[in-house]
Structure formats: C-alpha cells, structure tokens
C-alpha cells in the first residue's frame, strides 16, 4: 500500500457545533452568525454550524435552522449540520441543508447512551436517511468512538471495520470520519486503523479524522493520519469543546493549532492564521466555554515580547 | 533504510534542570532532593539534576553540586548534569558526575547569545572536554536549535548535519540529542532530520529528542521521532520549563503526557503513571513555575467525575 501525504488538507471547523454544544449559557444567534462570518473570513469553508437533534438534549443548538438560513448570506461558507437519525436528517434537508453529517457510535454502550439504539439500528437509520435524501446533498458519516469509548474503553479495530462493511455500500461517496470521542486514541492506533480502513475500502474517496486533545494527543493523531494519507480534519476554533455524553472528554483540537502545524509542514490549508488567532481569542471568551490549544497563547505571547 | 519502532523507550526527566532554571524564587535544595526521590520512585532513572554553569547566568541551579552529592543516597538514580564548556564540564566531573550532557547550539546567533562563542568554538570546547574526561563518564551531546532558532528562524538541515560531521567523530559513543529549543519544529521536519542523521551516522548508537510543547506539537514530534526509531526522549514533570534565552519558548513536553502516550501505544517506559501524576501535580505548584501538559488535568478530572 502506497501512502501519499496530502500537500493540501481541508480543515472542517466544528466549533459552532461540537464547541458550543456543551456550553450552558445560550450564545445569542446573532453572535453565532457573527462568528461564522469571521471564521469564513479567515479562509475556512466548511463549518459544522449546528445539529438537528432534540432541543431537550442540546438546547444550545436549538437555533440551528435559523443559523443555517443566515448562511445563505455568508459568501463562501459550506454549512454542514450533524444529525443522528432519519427524522432529524429529513428536517435538516427541509431546512435547506446541503451537507449532512450522520453520526453513530461504534461502541454499543456509547450509541445507546447517545441515541438509545444499537449501532446496527443506527445503520438502518442511515440507510433510510440516504434513501430519502434529494440529489445534491453531500454526506459525511461520523463514526464516534472509533478508537475508545468512555464506557467500555478501547474499541477493537475489527468492530470499526465490521460496521464499515455495512455502512460503506449504502453510500460509497460519503466522506467517512473516524472520531476519537474521548481523546484517548494514540497515534499508532490512528495510523493502524486508517491503514486498514483505507486498504479495505478503496472506493471511499475521502477519509477524515475528528481528534480531541484531552490527553494532549490531538496534533500527534492528526499528524499520524495525515502521514497515512488522510486529507480532512475536524477542529474547533479556540479548542472549544467536549462531548456532553463522554465524561471528562473536554478539548477539541484547536483549529489554530492545526493551521500552525500544517503551515510549518508546508501543507496548504487555505486559512490565514494571523486572521484566525484574534477570532480564536474572542472564541475563548465565550461565557461558559472550555477553550484549549496552545498556538493562541504562543502567538499572543510572541506579540507582546 | 529500515526503521525499527522501539518497543521500549527511555524517558530522561529534565524538569530539575530545564524546568527549574527559569523559575526565579529559589527552590530550597531539600525540596529539589525530595522531588528527585519521588521522581525516581515512579520508575524514572536518568534525571538531569542541574547544570554546571555560571551562577550569575542561572542562579536557580547554583546548588547543583550539593544536589549531585545527595544523589548518592537515592537508589536507582542516574544523575545527568548539563554543561556548556570544558571548564564547567571538568567541575562537573570533579563533583562526581558520571553522566555529562554538553550543550551547544546549531545556530550561531543562539550559541553566541547562550555561551558567547561561535558553534565551531563550542566544538573545540567539546573536543577538549572529551579529552579531559576520565574513564567511566557517559556523554550526551545536546544540539540546541536543531530545528529552529528564536533569533534566525528555521535552521537548515544541512547545518545540523555539517556540525555533526565535526562532532560525531570526537566521541562516537555519545548519545546525541536534537533539541527543539523553540517548540517550532513540526513532525515532518523531525522525521526528516532524524532520518538523514541516522542514515549518515550509523555509528551513533543512541539518538534522543528534546521536544518543547510551546505550540502544542511536543507529542506529535516525539511520535514522529519514535516512528523513525528514536528511543530516548527528554521530558519535564508537570511540563515545567522554558528556555531563558529563547523568548516565548515556554513549555517542555510533560513527562506524564509522554508516559501516557507510550502506555497507550504499548511501548514500555518503566514508569508508573499513577505514581507520577501526584508528583506532577505537586510540581505544578512550585512557586514561580510555568507548568503545562494535559494528562495531569485529564486524569485528575477523570478521578473527580
């Protein structure tokens, strides 16, 4: 198997979904839209702007339809929305979404906790959603707990492959994102699992990694995946984030940290780091937010010395 | 070139030197010795316990001879001391040091700032020191600014190789450590430079990496070096550290983060993480210290949830 390290990568900004969802004080819709404008102004294109889920489960994102509507006036944005089932996926499309990310967990315990279904039931939800999608809607498939589960610990690679055996044929052109929900994946694991998956499913044209930085391994895992040929990475501005269903799993990889790393490696992201750092600094000030990352501090310190 | 990923690595604890040196309030000698005992109690063996340098330059480490003497009563410790020239190297040996780390910088600007010499003059210092060493003294060679210089930016790989051409023959069995003084190395750079150096100098039996986490890339760089076959890594408990001569270069890689990563990868370190975390938590409380790292927080959070 020949690995081609991508000379250009796509960073998907997931802060407005994964970063915001665990923040308790409601972020005013106008502020959300203002952040979207600023993020897209730095060169970011695809942004996960929210999710279509139960308002009760994630009240912070109850204005996703409104935010999505506002995206029509933000030039260049490719708004992606997250959904865990057919019903909310249909709602997303009806609200005008052209990029739907469907999420299920590899681990049964996590999937049951998250959406009260066995992963195989979620596969059927995905099948029904795909059948219902009109033409022109792009699909991303998020496999939560691809490496580790907050309830059951390390997830076997075989389990991920077996689930993909069912999922990939349903929509082979879907982008597939392996998610390190707990941040406990190590880079050799990331390397090995992507190598296996990419080898087994050559029909999948785009692979992605959603890394968390809870244990400091976010960038190491992104590097390992890039080194294996993965070209798409999720990140959250200011490192905002955490998973409300994974105790202790705070800390998305910070978008500015990723942009820094790729810039140092000579890999194109299309994002202007100097423009991004001030947005990240403001993002870190969102009341109730849990920011992370290092580059924001390092570059701010460099400016003041 | 065949790369063998080490199944066992050695972590060199450099907190008592690199971590302490930029701390202004003097850490009482007894407290330093107490930390050494506790660190060695976690399974750490080699510890950079201080440096023989001008007391004026680094007053925090003025008690290094006393700390070194106390190591005779700490079972299992392999105390390493840092020195930048022949004179202080001789003093280290006279004080009983059996493991001397000689430091010079690849970048002329950094070496002049650090020791007021051209790097070639430091090569001659090293040559004289090696000639003066009695039998039974191990040697580590630290190449500061092997990737990036706080004054001159990115350091060319050719410069590192050219300096090693002069240095390696002086003492081929010295351990050679490439140091990312500013934390601005990226993992592809680490991978490339070690690949070149290891290929060119097969007579060097031990390579090491000294990584900083200033921009969040510490663990990614360690992973890249390990992936290339490097078996020795510097780290600082609680992530204490920074370089007093490199503005903004705060943040050594935290020992506990490294131990965590390697444990998750099934790579032996011989260190008990559960025993290390409380020592790191206490290290983070040293007045005037600048702690870093993620695992200390993540594991403490996990315990309280």
DSSP structure class, residue B144: E
Least confident of A225-229, B158-162, B294-298: B294-298
- Nearest CA distance, A283 vs chain B (angstrom): 18
Question: Mean pLDDT, chain A, as a whole number?
Answer: 94
Question: What pLDDT is recorded for position A242?
Answer: 62
Three-state secondary-structure class, residue A140: strand
B249 in any annotated domain: yes
Q: Which of A111, A108, A104 is nearest to A128 (CA)?
A: A104
pLDDT tier at A62, thresholds 50, 70, 90: very high
**Neighbour-count burial of B206, counting CB atoms closer than 10 A to its CB (0-12 exposed, 13-18 middle, 19+ buried):** middle
> Does the CA dihedral B61-B282-B290-A214 come out positive or negative?
positive
| E strand or H helix at B67 | helix B64-70
Q: Which of A223, A254, A266 to mutate to test the interface with B (most CBs of B within 10 A)?
A: A223
Closest residue of chain B to A217, computed from CA coordinates: B219
Closest residue of chain B to A216, computed from CA coordinates: B294
Task: Indicate if the pLDDT at residue B303 is higher than 90.
Answer: no
Can you give the residue range of the structural domain that contains A167?
Answer: 10-304
All residues at 6 or more sequence positions from B54 whose CB lies less than 8 Å from its CB, including other chains: none
Kindly report the number of other CB atoms within 10 A of residue B217's CB atom. 31
pLDDT tier at B266, thresholds 50, 70, 90: very high
Cβ atoms of residues B60 and B17 within 8 Å:
no
Cβ atoms of residues A260 and B215 within 8 Å:
yes
% of chain A exceeding 90 in pLDDT: 88
List chain A residues with CB under 8 Å of B217: 219, 261, 264
Q: Which of B185, B214, B223 sits opposite A220 (nearest CB)?
A: B223
- Nearest CA distance, A163 vs chain B (angstrom): 24
Helices (H), A116-216: 119-132, 157-167, 187-200
Task: Indicate if the pLDDT at residue B160 is higher than 50.
Answer: yes
Task: Indicate if the pLDDT at residue B248 is higher than 90.
Answer: no
Average pLDDT, integer, range B141-149: 97
Distance CA A281, CA A263 (A): 19
Distance CA A197, CA A10 (A): 20
Task: Indicate if the pLDDT at residue B302 is higher than 80.
Answer: no
pLDDT tens-digit map of B80-115: 999 999 999 999 999 999 999 999 999 999 999 989
A2 in any annotated domain: no
Three-state secondary-structure class, residue B291: coil
Query: Which value, in Å, is the radius of gyration of the alpha carbons in chain A?
Result: 18
Which residue matches tokens 């970048």?
B107
Split into its structural domains, chain B has a count of 1
A301 and chain B in contact, CB less than 8 A? yes
Are β-strands B148-149 and B138-144 bridged in parallel, bridged antiparallel, or unpaired?
Answer: unpaired
Least confident of A93-97, A163-167, B2-6, B220-224: B2-6
Report helix, strand and coil shares of chain B as percent, to nearest 5: 45, 20, 40
B210 in any annotated domain: yes
% of chain B exceeding 90 in pLDDT: 88
List chain B residues with CB under 8 Å of A256: none
Q: Which of A248, A260, A305 sits opposite B215 (nearest CB)?
A: A260
B92 in any annotated domain: yes
Taking each helix axis from N to C end, the angle separating B187-200 and A218-228, rounded to the nearest 10 degrees, works out to 70
B220 and A215 within 8 Å at the Cβ level: the answer is no
Q: Which of A208, A182, A211, A181 is nearest to A197 (CA)?
A: A208
Closest residue of chain B to A219, computed from CA coordinates: B220
Q: Which of B215, B226, B254 to mutate to test the interface with A (most CBs of A within 10 A)?
A: B215
Tokens of A115: 């959406």
Tokens of B172: 């081929």
Cβ atoms of residues B11 and B259 within 8 Å:
yes
Q: Which of B217, B265, B305 sits opposite A219 (nearest CB)?
A: B217
Task: Indicate if the pLDDT at residue B174 is higher than 50.
Answer: yes
Distance CA B241, CA B292 (A): 8
Question: What pLDDT is recorded for position A244?
Answer: 53
Average pLDDT, integer, range B165-190: 97
Task: Indicate if the pLDDT at residue A249 is higher than 70.
Answer: no
% of chain A exceeding 70 in pLDDT: 95
Task: Indicate if the pLDDT at residue B201 is higher than 70.
Answer: yes
A301 and B250 within 8 Å at the Cβ level: the answer is yes
B285 in any annotated domain: yes
Distance CA A111, CA A122 (A): 8
Half-sphere exposure of B32 (CA within 13 A, CB side): 29
Distance CA A246, CA B293 (A): 21
Measured CA angle at B146 (ends B145, B149), to 5 deg: 30
B215 in any annotated domain: yes
B294 and A216 within 8 Å at the Cβ level: the answer is yes
What are the φ/ψ torsions at residue A230 (nearest 5 degrees)? -75, 130
Question: Mean pLDDT, chain B, as a whole number?
Answer: 94
- Nearest CA distance, B54 vs chain A (angstrom): 25
Tokens of B1: 């070139």
B219 and chain A in contact, CB less than 8 A? yes
pLDDT tens-digit map of B21-59: 989 999 999 999 999 999 999 999 999 999 999 999 899
**Neighbour-count burial of B213, counting CB atoms closer than 10 A to its CB (0-12 exposed, 13-18 middle, 19+ buried):** buried
Average pLDDT, integer, range A233-238: 98
Question: What pLDDT is recorded for position B106?
Answer: 98
What CATH code is carried by the domain that includes residue B234? 3.20.20.70
pLDDT tier at A305, thresholds 50, 70, 90: very low
Instruction: Let me know if A243 is a catalytic residue.
Output: yes
Distance CA B227, CA B123 (A): 30
B199 in any annotated domain: yes
Task: Indicate if the pLDDT at residue A96 is higher than 70.
Answer: yes
Tokens of A29: 């819709």
Cβ atoms of residues B198 and B207 within 8 Å:
yes
Question: What pLDDT is recorded for position B139?
Answer: 98
- A225 to A177, B16, B122: CA distances (angstroms): 11, 35, 40
B5 in any annotated domain: no
Predicted-complex ipTM score = 0.93
């Amino acid at each position: 198997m020949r690995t081609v390290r991508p000379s250009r990568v796509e960073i998907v900004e997931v802060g407005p979904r994964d970063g915001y969802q665990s923040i308790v004080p409601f972020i005013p819709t106008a502020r959300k839209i203002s952040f979207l404008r600023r993020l897209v102004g730095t060169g970011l294109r695809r942004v996960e702007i929210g999710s279509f889920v139960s308002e009760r489960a994630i009240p912070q994102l109850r204005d996703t339809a409104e935010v999505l509507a506002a995206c029509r006036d933000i030039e260049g944005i490719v708004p992606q929305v997250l959904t865990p089932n057919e019903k909310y996926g249909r709602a997303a499309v009806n609200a005008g979404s052209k990029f739907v990310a469907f999420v299920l967990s590899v681990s049964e315990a996590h999937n049951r906790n998250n959406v009260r279904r066995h992963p195989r039931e979620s596969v059927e939800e995905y099948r029904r959603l795909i059948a219902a999608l009109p033409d022109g809607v792009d699909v991303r498939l998020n496999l939560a707990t691809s490496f580790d589960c907050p309830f059951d610990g390390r997830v076997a690679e075989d389990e991920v492959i077996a689930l993909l055996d069912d999922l990939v044929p349903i929509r082979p052109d879907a982008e597939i994102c392996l998610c390190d929900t707990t941040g406990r994946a190590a880079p050799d694991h990331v390397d090995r699992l992507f190598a296996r998956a990419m080898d087994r499913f050559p029909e999948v044209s785009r692979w992605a990694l959603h890394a968390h930085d809870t244990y400091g391994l976010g960038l190491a895992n992104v590097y390992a995946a890039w080194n294996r040929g993965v070209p798409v990475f999720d990140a959250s501005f200011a490192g905002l984030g955490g998973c409300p269903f994974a105790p202790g799993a705070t800390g998305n990889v910070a978008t500015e940290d990723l942009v820094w790393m790729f810039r140092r490696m000579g890999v194109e992201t299309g994002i202007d780091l100097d423009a991004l750092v001030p947005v990240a600094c403001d993002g870190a000030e969102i009341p109730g937010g849990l920011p992370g990352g290092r580059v924001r501090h390092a570059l701010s310190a460099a400016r003041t010395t």
